[in-house]
Structure 1
Amino acid sequence: MEKRTNKYKLKLELLSTTRVDDTIYPPIELEFDNHDNIFIIAERMKNRNLFQTENQATEFAIGLKMFSEVMLKNRDNALFSDFRPAFSDFMKKLKSTPIENKKD
């Protein structure tokens, strides 16, 4: 039985750089799947008000979900063995952070 996942497409473009070189990097575009709805998680992160801006909350949500999904798919990889317990504690702490009701 095939697991159900959400499919996403991400495009990353360099808009400006602090470097002096004139290298033009083509955009990176990739498709990936994740067992969670990243849009819902991004909204929840915004509502937790943990970061300076909503944009940072969205960046965090996308990065965290992409990283954790790769770690999950590679659970036997020794690279993650020392990190996995700390990540589990981190996720428990994050999930226990209250979601605030936004005031319009």
Structure 2
Amino acid sequence: MNKKYNHYTVTLEHTYSPSDADLHRRVEVVFDNHDNLFDVIDKLQDRDHFGDMGQSTEFAIGLKMFSEVMLRNKDNALFEEFLPAFKDFMKKLKSSN
């Protein structure tokens, strides 16, 4: 864990399956992020891009987890074409109300 970063734990629990499939085991992820995710969640909920607070929260968590991994691995060929578009997307998101 990086002492300069915020530390988080996310727990994902599969609580229902519409196809009656077996529920998956619980997954817990411990990770660092340079941003305070609760501040990001609050900002995106205030902007209400989706008309749904739950979706704003999902978006904030998913976006920040994904972007942190991508930034740590920015030289990975997997992100080569995506990174420039992602930078443009983030600029647009940060400038939106």
User: What TM-score does the superposition give when structure 1 sets the normalisation length?
Assistant: 0.88
Q: Which amino acid letter does the alignment assign opposite residue 42 of structure 1?
A: I
Report 1 or 2 for greater relative contact order, CA contacts < 8 Å, sequence distance ≥ 6: 1
Aligned partners of 2:50, 2:63: CA distance in 1, in Å? 14
Identity %, equivalent residues: 51
Q: 1:82 maps to which residue? A: 81
CA RMSD in angstroms, aligned pairs only:
1.2
Shift of 1:24: 3.0
Listed as ranges, the gaps of 5+ residues in structure 2 are none
> Where has structure 1 moved over 3 Å in runs of 4 or more?
none
Shift of 1:17: 1.2
d(CA) in 1 for partners of 2:5 and 2:73?
16
Could you tell me which residue of structure 2 aligns to residue 5 of structure 1?
Answer: 5
Contact kept? 2:41, 2:60, Cα under 8 Å: yes
Q: How many residues align?
A: 96
TM-score of the superposed pair, with normalisation by structure 2 = 0.94
